[in-house]
Amino acid sequence: RLQLPAAVNMIIDVLQAHGYEGFAVGGCVRDSVLNRTPDDWDITTSATPYQVKELFPKTVDTGLQHGTVTVMVHGVGYEVTTYRIDGEYEDGRHPKEVQFTSNLTEDLKRRDFTINAMAYSKDRGLIDEFGGMNDLQRKIIRCVGDPWQRFGEDALRILRAVRFAAQLGFEIEENTKKAIVELASTLSKISAERIQTETVKLLMSDRPEMWRSVYDLSITRIIMPEFDAIMETPQNTPHHMYNVGEHTLKALSLTEKDRILRLTMLLHDIGKASMRTTDANGVDHFKGHGPAGKEIAKKILRRLKFDNDTIAQVTHLIYWHDYRPAPEEKAVRRAIHKVGEDLFPLFLKVQRADNLAQSMYLREEKLARIDGVEKLYHEIMEKHQCVSLKTLAVTGRDLIAEGMKPGPQMGAVLQELLEVVLDQPEMNEKEKLLAWWKEHGTCQKAEG
Ligand code: ATP
Ligand code: MG
């Protein structure tokens, strides 16, 4: 017996009372069986969208042409979708045409994996026509029907298989796996947005290091070839025990579930493939891989159609990830200024995961340094010390009042004053700074 939310039972009851069938279906049934909390509750019904709309006072036309109406209950939406048979998928994306049917089995047959192809209602119990329960118990991801055909209809299912394996800790069934490897290249037909969604779900799972399977199954080659390059980049340094890609996977496994943090760890060393030099002793160096990685990461994230804010944060963290401020007040204030107040806590988390995923060489020292920096960061924040122009005691307006002409020079002066304050917080007073400027300023002085 599964526990469905009252609203889901109500919707199914209303459908049944009017002579239609209704079931909870797909991911929510799977998650309920596993005692996981479903993201959303989907209902499948023999009623057509127009019939559904007539039965409920508040509905939203989510995708009438695909049979979906959202029924609103107490402000929460439940997607109610008419039983359908998906025709062939257009360019491996959307079904070219959907055909409604009154047969539940047909609707379950179109679904991707056996564990996602079960339906449930409290009156009819579990409908499991493709061995979904058995696969759930045996922890197996298996296509409904022939994997080659199913991936042929919609190549995104290739990536979904790995994503579910990562989320649930399941194995992919042999034939399904074989088809994945053979058909991986067809993922090139799939839109960046859909690939992004699955990528993020995998990275935000309990096993982000399962990104390894995306590589092992020849999928990164299509969706992120830059990752293949780091899997093939050795790093012979005392700091590392793995090649760049293996280190990345290890670091990923050590981070908490934060979207920006996980994306940053996935790409933090992406610049190493192009920046590797080997010295006379056979030791590798990767000077400048942070800044180089920023550019490569930007290309990858843009290609996957991530939003600008995400791209800015992730690439900024990648740029600075290898920067090691000393655990001293001045250095930490400067670091907060460079990395930015907002991203500084994540910057510390990136450094921690990065160091923990390295070899034991100097590990205690590295972690102690980060602890020291973090402690100082909190102290500096608590004391509200100035670490950016925002809180500098002198503004452009003050400089103009002192007779300076507006222009690009002004920014340079403010930056110079900020440098003073980063070294000596007690200098952050208007009078003191203006006096300092008149005496020591190297930038343009007031004219006249
Ligand atoms: P989650 O919501 O946790 O990401 P889910 O299984 O609910 O996982 P959704 O994308 O919400 O996944 O889709 C709901 C259901 O619709 C799935 O369980 C599956 O039955 C079906 N489905 C979704 N996408 C596809 C697809 N590309 N091909 C076939 N069936 C699909
Ligand atoms: Mg879902």
**ipTM over the 0.95 cut-off:** yes
Q: How far is CA 439 from the centre of its chain?
A: 50
pLDDT digits (tens, 9 = 90+) for 316-374: 999 999 999 999 999 999 999 999 999 999 999 999 999 999 999 999 999 999 999 99
Report which bound ligand comes closest to the CA of 202.
Answer: 1
Exposed e or buried b for every residue in 268-305, given b needs 16+ CB within 10 A?
bbbbbbbbbeeeeeeebebeebbebbbebbbebbeebe
Spacing, Cα 161 to ligand 1 middle (Å): 11
Task: Compute, in angstroms, the gap from residue 23 CA to the centroid of ligand 1.
Answer: 15
CA atoms within 13 A on the CB side of 117: 23
The mean of the pLDDT values for the chain is 95
The confidence score (pLDDT) of residue 96 equals: 72
For residue range 47-62, list pLDDT tens digits in order: 999 999 999 999 999 9
Closest CA to 263 of 314, 305, 308: 314
The Cα angle at residue 113 between residues 191 and 303, in degrees rounded to 5: 15
pLDDT in tens, 236-293: 999 999 999 999 999 999 999 999 999 999 999 999 999 999 999 999 999 999 999 9
Question: In the structure, which protein residues have their CB atom closer than 6 angstroms to any atom of ligand 1?
Answer: 26-27, 39, 42, 111-112, 116-117, 154, 156-157, 201
Closest alpha carbon to 196 in 266, 250, 244: 266
The DSSP bridge pattern shows strands 98-100 and 284-285 to be unpaired
Contact (CB, 8 A) for 413 and 444 = yes
Distance in Å, CA 261 to ligand 2 centroid: 24
Note the pLDDT tens digit of each residue in 204-239.
Answer: 999 999 999 999 999 999 999 999 999 999 999 999
Please identify every residue whose CB atom is under 5 Å from ligand 2, which is an ion: 27, 40
Q: Angle of helix 244-253 relative to helix 344-356, nearest 10 degrees?
A: 120
What pTM value is reported for the model? 0.94
Closest Cα to atom 9 of ligand 1: 27
Please choose from 33, 112, 186 the residue to mutate so as to test ligand 1's pocket, defined by most ligand atoms within 8 A of CB.
Answer: 112
